[in-house]
Chain A
Amino acid sequence: MRNYDTIVADLAPRKFGRRGIIWISILSLLIVLGIIAYVDQVIQGQKVTNMNDYSLWGIYISNFVFFVATSFVGSATVAILRLTKNEWRTPLVRIAEIITLACIIMAGITITIDMARPDRVMYLFIHARLQSPITWDIIIIPTFIVISLLLLYFPLLPDFAVLKKYYAESKPRLSKLYGRLSLKWTGNSEQKALHIKSIRVLSILILMAGVLLQTIDAWLFSTTYRIGWDSSAFAPYFISGAFVAGIGALVTVIYVVRRTRKLENYITEYHFDKMGKLLALACIIYLFFNINEYVVPFFTAKKGEDAHLHSLLVGNYAFLFWLVTVVGLVLPVILLFFKKGRKPFSMFLIGMIVVIGSWWKRYIIITPTLQEPILPIQGVPESWHSYFPSMHEWVITVATLAMALLIITLLIRFLPAVPIQRTADEEEVASIQLKQIPS
């Protein structure tokens, strides 16, 4: 059994090493490039993108949907595992909460990038019309940001108190900051009772807000007449897809944190095994909804739908479609069935594949549909018959991804990535069989 001091020393935030600094520099560079490209887009207008009157939404929107989906990890793992009292969640929840917060903030930023008149962003509040699904998004995203911020912050209170003590002598200023953030946490029974209760409330809230967020996101598309979007199963389709993206991202980030912070004793193969099973479950559910979306329409496909399915299954988008479906979804499920597939490193690779697959999956949901309008595409330049992002779009999109990674990295730098107090409590429980305190 590890003693308390070792746990604190192992889990307390640490300065970046050389690799950390290089990583941060690369991310910062990508972000700066993105900002330059964005400023140019604001000046010149969105003609710098390859969007057109038919492909009226592009990767800004699919990237937005990706961020929204990935932010579901907070609801999926934190809330569900907490509410179902799955003890193996302990070393994973903090990172899940961090990913959630980073992704939902980036979702908010990404959707603004797609707005052609960012100078009029206030109109969304001043002239808001409740019947528009965009207004629902404007309501749910800030709500979700607040809830995920609280869900990250509340469980941190005991840890801030621990860090205050830990740094009291070595770094008095940092200690003072952590002390202030700990909101006078002493860990008495009254505080603990309140703590448990409020975290439970937040868990329920984030679960509901998460489901709502994914649903509204799906409704942005399914409230239109578009072939491929106009589906009544779109909300559960998006929720299950978010499950996959979120857990994929979690697995990947956790592996990197475990390696760089040398947390092999805290995040063990057992945890990866559990996450692997959860990811397999998520992929299978998503596969089911995919079959629902793409196989069932075959039987009653009207002319337009038929053309849409054709472009996905054997046409222009066939390569991407099958890559995303087979490599990004079916292959992970098969690999995760084997115990070897659920070992940390293979889980990392699978997680990466799943995340990249999830990103392209959103592209496949958005782009092909727009090229199958009900009336034929005529009288517009030939280039409008297809869409592939321009350099500006790529640079800006990469910058948003880099920004999400930067937020995650910085939060992991300054916050204990694995809950300290709770880990210590559990160790204690394991040794003296006391009632444990959920963090």
Chain B
Amino acid sequence: MEENSKKSRRKFLDRGLKIGVAGVLGGIGLSKLSAKFSSDEKASTGETMELMTTDGTIVEVDTSEVMEVSHDHHYSMDYNVREGIPNRKFVMVVDLAKCKNALKCQTSCNKNHYITGDNAWIKVYKMQESPDTAPYWMPTTCQHCDKPACVTVCPVDATFKREDGLVLIDNERCIGCRFCMAACPYSTRVFNWGDPGQEVTLNLDLTDYEPTPEYAGKPSKMGTVDKCDFCPHMVKQGELPHCVTACPNGVFYFGDKYEDTVTNGEETVRLSKLLKDKAGYRLLESLGTEPSVYYLPPVDRLVEFEDGLEFYKEFESVEKPTEE
């Protein structure tokens, strides 16, 4: 839109038509509008019409500026796996005030991603900043950084950043150098040191299945890196990631930054308001990695820290099938 240099158009934009005039008239994609501006220089018709913006302001617009676009509830799923779902930006919010280390997220993630190794992709850290401050439980997923250190150092473009915010791994490409693991300040990446053996231990059936970076762990490959993928395979079906739905305490909120909405499955809230009201922050903000995962500090807690100690295992994050 910045490309539009016409003065009259600028004035028109200044009048408040900023994001998505869409709404009332079946939606107007601003990008389409600007495309129209640049291609079509015809004079205004003189007729105007009233439109309501998404924040409720009534604006008056020349009819020549308005064009109908198809109403698109379902985001097009016909996209390049490496580029991501258009016009989306996935984020997660983790409310530390609610986490009591129930570990249902971890169990669900391990199960649904067929994790056979010793290191889960989702960890619940037992944290305490200093002896005088309160301990708390801190679940971590991949932070899906907007400036991902792992992607920068990958020599073969095996791990990549998508426009929708996801950092994924193509394990058909990964050469197993582990530089991404060294680069990640959140230690979120997991390596398949040996054969994951999912088909044997988990009865994972892969007949007629086309592997995709959008479903990490299905299957995992020896000598390649794995990590939390933010479950695009669930998002595609209109579902929430496994950890979000598994959590009994509603710790995880998942959503779209562009829609400014996140949900934990029970309540849907404005992302910006949530972060503002509850002083949201991101992990190791000072590193400049720009994570897509936000944390709400463990204040006004709804759960006791001690409740979680029961499930805390210092040396295990993936439950091994019990031997009989």
Contacts and interface: CB of A to CB of B under 8 A. Distances in A.
Contacts of A132: 152-155, 179
B175 A121 contact: yes
Contacts of A120: 156, 173-176
B125 A375 contact: yes
- Among B177, B186, B316, residue most surrounded by chain A Cβ atoms (within 10 Å): B177
A194 B83 CA distance: 55
A45 B185 CA distance: 26
B175 A115 contact: yes
B119 interface: yes
B208 interface: no
Interface string B104-143: 0000000000000011100111110000000000001000
A130 to B, nearest CB: 9
A52 B193 contact: yes
Contact of A116 (B120, B154, B223): B223
A436 B158 CA distance: 56
B284 A374 contact: yes
B22 to A, nearest CB: 38
A87 interface: no
B223 A384 contact: no
B114 to A, nearest CB: 17
A96 interface: no
Contacts of A46: 176, 193-194, 223
Contact of B157 (A117, A129, A223, A224): A129
Contacts of B120: 379
Contacts of B173: 120, 123, 127
Interface stretch (A53-61, A178-186, A331-339): A53-61
Contact of A379 (B156, B179, B195, B315): B315
Given A53-B181, A123-B173, A129-B157, A379 B317 contact: yes
Contact of B118 (A117, A220, A381): A381
B181 A56 contact: yes
B178 interface: yes
A169 B233 CA distance: 77
B154 A53 contact: no
B181 A115 contact: no
Given A45-B223, A117-B176, A117-B224, A374 B157 contact: no
Contacts of B287: 225
A307 interface: no
A134 B192 contact: no
Given A46-B193, A47-B194, A123-B156, A225 B183 contact: yes
A120 B154 CA distance: 14
A49 B124 CA distance: 27
B61 interface: no
B186 A375 contact: yes
Nearest to A111: B177
A150 to B, nearest CB: 27
A108 to B, nearest CB: 14
A53 B152 contact: no
B182 A379 contact: no
B203 to A, nearest CB: 21
Contacts of B192: 45
A380 B153 contact: no
Nearest to A385: B315
Given A132-B179, A224-B183, A374-B185, A116 B153 contact: no
Interface string B143-187: 000000100111111100000000000000111111101110111
B182 A224 contact: yes
A124 B175 CA distance: 8
Contacts of A379: 119-120, 123-125, 313-317
Contact of B191 (A114, A116, A225, A370): A116
Nearest to A380: B119
B1 to A, nearest CB: 30
A378 B313 CA distance: 8
A301 to B, nearest CB: 16
Interface in A16-70: 44-47, 49, 51-54, 56-57
B183 A223 contact: yes
Contacts of B176: 46, 115-117, 120
Contacts of A223: 152-153, 183
A127 to B, nearest CB: 4
Contacts of B59: none
Contacts of B156: 120, 123-124, 127-129
B143 to A, nearest CB: 11
A279 B150 CA distance: 39
Given A46-B193, A117-B223, A134 B155 contact: yes
Interface in A209-236: 220-221, 223-226
B117 to A, nearest CB: 8
A265 interface: no
Contacts of A438: none
B122 to A, nearest CB: 10
Contacts of B179: 132-134, 220
A146 interface: no
B218 interface: no
- Among B123, B153, B155, B186, residue most surrounded by chain A Cβ atoms (within 10 Å): B155
A327 to B, nearest CB: 29
A135 interface: yes
B128 to A, nearest CB: 10
7 contacts: A45-B195, A116-B175, A116-B177, A131-B152, A134-B155, A134-B179, A380-B119
Given A44-B194, A138-B155, A225-B183, 15 more contacts: A45-B194, A47-B193, A52-B191, A53-B190, A56-B178, A56-B191, A116-B224, A120-B176, A124-B155, A131-B153, A225-B149, A374-B187, A378-B125, A379-B125, A379-B315
Interface of A: 44-47, 49, 51-54, 56-57, 114-117, 120-121, 123-124, 127-129, 131-135, 138, 220-221, 223-226, 370, 373-382, 384
Q: Which 9 A-B pairs have the closest CB atoms?
A: A116-B176, A379-B317, A47-B194, A116-B223, A134-B155, A132-B155, A225-B185, A47-B193, A45-B194
